[in-house]
């Protein structure tokens, strides 16, 4: 049998009539002749839909409805009432009933209403499942890092989520995970079951941003053929995330400030005040106090936003997290690409750990995904790392030698000639490149920007071990 339906009516003829109709439609049917029996059936059988007559011998239909919704909150209840009971049916809908039918009713009308009620319940369950998935995906456990800097971030998130109304301002360079943290704050708060809506202030033109945020009424401007609900209205009860708030124009900053003060706004072209309850989280990679000094950001808006401040460290400030992040991102790439990556070689991991990551976690994510695509045996190796990144791990952006390079004993004051110093530097760079490439001379030559023949000549000159020879 199909979905189960509970028929609640004190008239036996009506119960039989409805049962016969529903059985023909392949529904499973249970019946109840009183309010007490109906509540018991709901508790024991957990039907998918309830057809409820408001006129019952033992208790008021409204009371029965309340008891049913208390026992099984999600079940759709369709009220069946005589024509004179429409007002009571409408009142029942305010208390959680799905809809109502007045006697006499058409059978097709009843079947369509049941079908729609079931469809709505399926949709509700899918949405609930999706929200639970989102909540799981955006928990703080997904913010990877055990460094002292990241421990402070985790502690701050826990404090912030204790209140679901406080405005939050997140500072951090591009790619540090500001959006991930905003999601974590929302899904750990009491607002988790409500919408999380975001807008990137740098990606939407100023001329469109106002109508995106506040919506517009029909006829507000040339192309406004229909009324549009704004993003702030869609976020009612939940969290609104302004990414890159430092790029918002002064004109819109004034409107946002007014909204923060009153939690009300008018749609573009409208006169009605709309009130919403949203928590505001804003993020920026800019120095807002400096922007305030330069009159590029309103001081009053800055003070309204800067209630709970959270600063995200750059990846170069927490390099001890790189191996853990690399492993986490490798697992992500495995799921995304449908390709099994089992490990990262020590040589590749050393390169990743020594690079400065100007693009932060986002850059690391892209590098790992690229390496996963190139891997043929389930292992990410040094040869899968981009050449520019490998050079960056040998010579830093400031021009100084990378980790492991020692200038001690190479200064002119120690009796060394310029030729000695240059050869010492050259020998160290070649040795370091070979080590990073696992002895692969072809890759090491590419890393150094020289031919393999020149590399082999220098290795012989500096008496460096040949290691394994890689086929050209």
Give burial (CB, 10 Å; 0-12/13-18/19+) of 345.
middle
Q: Which residues pair with 395 in a beta bridge?
A: 401
CA 103/CA 135 separation, integer angstroms: 45
pLDDT at 398: 35
Nearest to 200 by CA among 144, 317, 282: 282
pLDDT at 54: 85
β-pairing verdict for 77-82 and 379-380? unpaired
CB-based contact 150:320 (threshold 8 Å): no
User: Cβ contacts of residue 178 below 8 Å, gap of 6+?
Assistant: 170, 172, 243, 283, 285, 312
CA 260/CA 301 separation, integer angstroms: 9
CB-based contact 331:305 (threshold 8 Å): no
**Topology alike, domains 4-132 and 156-312:** yes
Q: Which residues pair with 310 in a beta bridge?
A: 170
The model's pLDDT over 72-89, given as tens digits with 9 standing for 90+, comes to: 888 999 998 876 667 788
| Sign of torsion over alpha carbons 254, 259, 260, 262 | positive
Average pLDDT score, the chain: 85
pLDDT at 384: 87
Evaluate if residue 3 carries a pLDDT over 90. Answer: no
Percent of the chain's residues with pLDDT above 90:
48
CB-based contact 354:403 (threshold 8 Å): yes
pLDDT at 402: 44
Report the Cα 341 to chain-centroid distance in Å. 24
Quickly state the pLDDT bin for 209 (edges 50, 70, 90): very high
Quickly state the pLDDT bin for 293 (edges 50, 70, 90): very high
- Within 10 A of 460 (CB to CB), how many other CB atoms are there? 10
pLDDT at 102: 86
Nearest to 447 by CA among 390, 369, 407: 390
The predicted model gives 105-125 an average pLDDT of 87
Nearest to 248 by CA among 280, 282, 211: 282
CB-based contact 239:284 (threshold 8 Å): no
Report the Cα 30 to chain-centroid distance in Å. 43
Percent of the chain's residues with pLDDT above 70:
87
Q: Which fold has domain 156-312?
A: Rossmann fold (3.40.50)
CB-based contact 151:213 (threshold 8 Å): no
Residues across the chain:
472
CATH number, domain 314-403, options 3.40.50.800, 3.90.45.10, 1.10.3720.10, 1.10.8.60: 1.10.8.60
Please tell me whether residue 140 adopts helix, strand or coil conformation: helix
pLDDT at 403: 42
The predicted model gives 379-394 an average pLDDT of 73
pLDDT at 147: 93
Evaluate if residue 404 carries a pLDDT over 60. Answer: no
- Within 10 A of 107 (CB to CB), how many other CB atoms are there? 12
CB-based contact 246:284 (threshold 8 Å): yes
pLDDT at 413: 53
Question: Number of C-alpha atoms within 13 angstroms, CB side, residue 368?
Answer: 31
Write phi, then psi, for 463 (nearest 5 degrees). Answer: 55, 45
Evaluate if residue 443 carries a pLDDT over 70. Answer: yes
**Model's pTM, two decimal places?**
0.61
Please tell me whether residue 194 adopts helix, strand or coil conformation: coil
Quickly state the pLDDT bin for 103 (edges 50, 70, 90): confident
β-pairing verdict for 28-32 and 239-243? unpaired
The CATH code belonging to domain 4-132 is 3.40.50.2300
Evaluate if residue 181 carries a pLDDT over 90. Answer: yes
Say which residue the tokens 């006499």 belong to: 104
**CATH superfamily, region 407-472:** Homeodomain-like (1.10.10.60)
pLDDT at 1: 56
The model's pLDDT over 16-54, given as tens digits with 9 standing for 90+, comes to: 999 999 999 999 999 999 999 999 999 888 899 999 998
Which sequence spans correspond to the domains of the chain? 4-132, 156-312, 314-403, 407-472
Evaluate if residue 425 carries a pLDDT over 50. Answer: yes
The predicted model gives 90-119 an average pLDDT of 89
Evaluate if residue 106 carries a pLDDT over 60. Answer: yes
CB-based contact 372:341 (threshold 8 Å): yes
Quickly state the pLDDT bin for 219 (edges 50, 70, 90): confident
**What is the end-to-end Cα distance of the chain in Å, rounded?**
68
CA 423/CA 77 separation, integer angstroms: 86
CA 389/CA 375 separation, integer angstroms: 17
Quickly state the pLDDT bin for 464 (edges 50, 70, 90): confident
pLDDT at 405: 45
Write phi, then psi, for 432 (nearest 5 degrees). Answer: -65, -40
Question: Between residues 104 and 224, which one has the greater pLDDT?
Answer: 104
CA 330/CA 365 separation, integer angstroms: 8
Strands of the sheet containing 99-103, edge to edge, are 28-32, 4-8, 49-53, 77-82, 99-103
Classify residue 323 by its DSSP letter: H
Q: Containing H/E element for 28? A: strand 28-32
pLDDT at 141: 54
- Within 10 A of 350 (CB to CB), how many other CB atoms are there? 18
CA 460/CA 440 separation, integer angstroms: 16
């Amino acid at each position: 049998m199909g979905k189960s339906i509970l028929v609640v009516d004190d008239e036996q003829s009506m119960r039989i009539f409805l049962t016969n109709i529903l059985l023909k439609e392949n529904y499973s049917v249970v019946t109840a002749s009183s309010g007490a029996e109906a509540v018991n059936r709901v508790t024991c059988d957990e039907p998918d839909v309830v057809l409820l007559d408001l006129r019952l011998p033992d208790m008021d239909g409204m009371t029965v409805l309340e008891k049913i919704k208390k026992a099984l909150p999600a079940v759709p209840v369709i009220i069946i009432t005589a024509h004179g009971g429409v007002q009571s049916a409408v009142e029942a809908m305010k208390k959680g009933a799905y809809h109502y039918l007045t006697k006499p009713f058409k059978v097709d009308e009843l079947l369509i209403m049941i079908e729609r009620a079931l469809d709505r319940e399926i949709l509700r369950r899918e949405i609930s499942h999706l929200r639970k998935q989102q909540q799981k995906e955006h928990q703080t456990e997904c913010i990877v890092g055990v460094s002292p800097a990241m421990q402070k971030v985790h502690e701050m998130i826990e404090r912030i989520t204790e209140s679901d109304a406080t405005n939050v301002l997140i500072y951090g360079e591009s790619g540090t995970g500001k959006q991930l943290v905003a999601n974590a704050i929302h899904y750990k708060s009491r607002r988790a079951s409500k919408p999380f809506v975001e807008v990137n202030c740098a990606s939407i033109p100023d001329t469109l941003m106002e109508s995106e945020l506040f919506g517009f009424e029909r006829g507000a401007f040339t192309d406004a053929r229909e009324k549009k609900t704004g993003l702030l209205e869609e976020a009612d009860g939940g969290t609104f995330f302004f990414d890159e708030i430092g790029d918002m124009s002064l004109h819109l900053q004034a409107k946002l400030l007014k909204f923060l003060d009153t939690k009300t706004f008018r749609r573009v072209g409208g006169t009605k005040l709309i009130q919403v309850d949203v928590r505001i989280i804003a993020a920026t990679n800019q120095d807002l106090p400096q922007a305030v000094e330069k009159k590029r950001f309103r001081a009053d808006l800055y003070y309204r936003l800067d209630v709970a401040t959270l600063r995200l460290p750059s990846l170069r400030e927490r390099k001890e997290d790189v191996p853990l992040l690399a492993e986490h991102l490798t697992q992500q790439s495995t799921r995304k690409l449908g390709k099994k990556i089992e490990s990262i070689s020590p040589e590749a991991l050393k390169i990743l750990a020594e690079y400065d990551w100007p693009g932060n976690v986002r850059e690391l994510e892209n590098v790992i995904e690229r390496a996963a695509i190139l891997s043929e045996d389930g292992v990410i190796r040094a040869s899968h790392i981009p050449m520019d990144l490998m050079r960056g791990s040998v010579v830093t952006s400031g021009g100084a030698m990378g980790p492991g390079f020692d200038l001690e004993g190479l200064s002119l004051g120690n009796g060394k000639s310029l030729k000695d110093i240059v050869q010492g530097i050259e020998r160290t760079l070649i040795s370091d490149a070979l080590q990073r490439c696992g002895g692969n001379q072809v890759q090491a030559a590419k890393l150094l920007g020289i031919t393999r023949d020149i590399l082999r000549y220098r290795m012989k000159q500096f008496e460096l071990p040949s290691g394994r020879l890689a086929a050209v």
